[in-house]
Structures are given as structure tokens and as C-alpha cells.
């Protein structure tokens, strides 16, 4: 678990136990005095893809399930785990919406289907089976395997060093090294593209399912039409 995640949980626990103490449910807060962890020290920094990099990747994966996963990742901003488990019953081509209950946060996210993504979804087979996975091969392999496989794709594109098959300590060092580009970079790309298109932070927040107390305090609901208009501003890849 990353330091930033631990610190977020620690902050929440401190608040909960502070309120419990104020209500005299407990007499002391066991989390008082606990310091936050130092931020992870990485040898690299994750970032989003540039448009040119995305075009190179799309040429490499054309005609495979990866093409679909990347398009969905880019145009919805969702995590690989949520894309792998996506079923046709969650895709409403009449309303042009995809609905998720995200694995990480349990939050319900409704993302309008923009024109380029709709065209792609209509080209896929299997839409008549509501329980069918959009990506059956990926669904059978699992996220960890797919993350490694996507790393190999990036290596073939020249965006990542090829995995070492040498000594164990070298392989361990590679696992610890942060790669600038991963599948999660599509989420960074989606957020950047939305903001560069002039989409408000509140709408971006709602579309990708990020949690933020600051945003939630000011915006309790984002209209579907506002999200649809926002996604319509994204470039075609």
C-alpha cells in the first residue's frame, strides 16, 4: 500500500476517533500522535500518454482486445480492473451511457459514451448477451497478467525497457522501479485531455470517479448532459 493511501486512511481514522471521543464513546484517540508516512521515493514519475504516443500504441494493438481496452480507458478514465469486468448489461447504447460500481471505491460512476467510443462499441460482437464480458480474453487472464502484458506492448513500442531475464536481484530492482507509462497512464491522459478541453474540475471528478472532500462539499450532482457535452470535446484517437 502506498504512503499516500496510508496517510489518507490515517487522516480519516483520526477524524472518526476524535468525534467518538468528543461524544464520550471513547476516552482517548489511539491515532493521536501518529505521524504521516513519508511519500514514496520513486526512481520515476508516472505520467499520461501524449497523443503521438497513443497513436503508436494504437497501431501496435490494432485488431486486438487491447485496442478496445485502451479506447475505453482513454474515453472513460476508468481503471483496468473495472474495464476487464465490464459486461454488456452495463452498456446502454440507447442512453449512450456506461455504468460502473468501481472496485476500488465502490462508487457508482455513470459515463456518457462519446461519439468515437460509441462507434467502437458498435463494432464489437456479443452485445446481445447482457451478462457477456466485452473483453472475454482479458476477463479470463486477470489484472496482474494484463498489466505485465501491457508493459510488454509498451516495450515493443519503445516506451519502456524490455523486462530482464537475468539475475533475481535485477528483476527485483525492475519491479521496484516506477515506470513512467502504464495502463493507469490512460487515466492520467483522460483527466488531462478533459481539463485541456476546458471541462470543469467538478465534471472531471465525477466522470473518472475520483474522491475529493473539497469537490463534494460544493458539488453534489453533475448533470448527465454536462458530462456528455464535456466528453464530446475530446480528440479522436
DSSP the chain: --HHHHHHHHHHHHHHHHHHHHTTS-SS-TTTTPPPPPPP--SS---PPPHHHHHHHHHHHTTSHHHHHHHHHHHH---HHHHHT-BGGGEETTTTEEEEE-TTT--EEEEE--HHHHHHHHTSS-TT-TTSBSSHHHHHH-HHHHHHHHHHHHHHTTSSPPPP-S-HHHHHHHHHSPPS--TTHHHHHHHHHHHHTT--HHHHHHHHT---HHHHHH-S---HHHHHHHHTTSPP-
Which position has the higher pLDDT, 200 or 69? Answer: 69
- Return the pLDDT at 44: 52
- Residue 46 belongs to some domain of the structure: no
d(CA 203, CA 221): 9
Would you say residue 123 has pLDDT above 60? yes
Confidence of residue 178 (pLDDT cuts 50, 70, 90): low
Which pLDDT score, from 0 to 100, does residue 221 have? 46
Tally of domains in the chain: 2
| Claim to verify: residue 35 and residue 73 sit in the same structural domain | no
Asked whether residue 119 carries a pLDDT value surpassing 50, the answer given is: yes
CA atoms within 13 A on the CB side of 211: 9
Q: Are residues 110 and 10 in the same domain?
A: no
| pLDDT (tens digit per residue) in 180-213 | 899 999 988 888 887 777 777 777 877 776 555 4
Tell me, what CATH number does 225's domain have?
Answer: 1.10.443.10
pLDDT the model gives residue 38: 72
pLDDT range class, residue 20, cuts 50, 70, 90: confident
Over range 9-18, report the average pLDDT.
84
Whether 141 has a pLDDT exceeding 70, the answer reads yes
Mean pLDDT computed over every residue of the chain: 81
Reported as a pLDDT band with limits 50, 70 and 90, residue 163 is: low
| Same domain assignment for residues 36 and 58 | no
pTM: 0.69
φ, ψ at 133 (rounded to 5°): -75, 140
* Residue 200: count of CB within 10 angstroms of its CB: 14
- Identify the pLDDT of residue 205: 78
* pLDDT > 90 fraction of the chain, expressed in percent and rounded: 36
Q: What is the Cα Rg of the chain in Å?
A: 20
**Terminal alpha carbon distance of the chain:** 33
Same domain for 122 and 56, yes or no, is yes
Structural domain of residue 137, as residue ranges? 51-231
Q: Which of 47-61, 112-126, 172-186 has the lowest mean pLDDT?
A: 172-186
Are 31 and 137 in the same domain?
Answer: no
223 — pLDDT class (breaks 50, 70, 90): low
Same domain, 177 and 73: yes
**Pair 106, 178 in one domain:** yes
Judge whether 152 and 163 are in contact, CB under 8 Å: yes
> What are the pLDDT digits (tens) for 25-40?
888 888 887 887 776 5
- Do 91 and 127 fall within a single domain? yes
Amino acid at each position: 500500500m502506498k504512503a499516500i493511501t496510508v496517510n489518507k486512511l490515517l487522516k480519516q481514522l483520526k477524524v472518526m476517533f476524535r468525534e467518538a471521543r468528543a461524544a464520550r464513546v471513547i476516552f482517548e484517540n489511539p491515532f493521536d500522535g501518529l505521524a504521516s508516512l513519508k511519500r514514496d521515493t520513486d526512481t520515476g514519475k508516472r505520467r499520461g500518454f501524449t497523443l503521438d504516443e497513443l497513436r503508436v500504441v494504437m497501431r501496435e494493438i490494432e485488431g486486438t482486445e487491447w485496442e478496445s481496452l485502451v479506447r475505453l480507458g482513454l474515453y472513460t478514465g476508468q481503471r483496468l480492473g473495472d474495464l476487464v469486468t465490464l459486461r454488456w448489461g452495463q452498456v446502454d447504447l440507447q442512453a449512450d451511457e456506461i455504468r460502473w460500481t468501481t472496485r476500488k471505491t465502490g462508487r457508482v460512476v455513470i459515463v456518457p459514451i462519446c461519439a468515437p467510443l460509441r462507434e467502437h462499441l458498435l463494432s464489437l460482437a456479443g452485445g446481445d448477451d447482457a451478462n457477456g464480458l466485452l473483453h472475454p480474453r482479458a476477463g479470463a487472464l486477470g489484472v496482474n497478467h494484463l498489466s505485465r502484458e501491457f508493459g510488454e506492448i509498451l516495450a515493443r513500442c519503445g516506451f519502456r525497457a524490455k523486462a530482464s531475464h537475468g539475475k533475481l536481484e535485477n528483476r527485483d530492482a525492475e519491479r521496484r522501479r516506477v515506470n513512467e507509462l502504464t495502463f493507469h497512464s490512460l487515466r492520467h491522459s483522460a483527466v488531462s485531455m478533459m481539463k485541456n478541453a476546458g471541462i470543469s474540475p467538478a465534471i472531471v471528478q465525477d466522470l473518472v470517479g475520483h474522491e475529493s472532500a473539497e469537490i463534494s462539499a460544493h458539488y453534489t450532482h453533475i448533470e448527465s448532459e454536462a458530462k456528455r457535452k464535456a466528453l464530446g470535446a475530446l480528440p479522436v484517437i
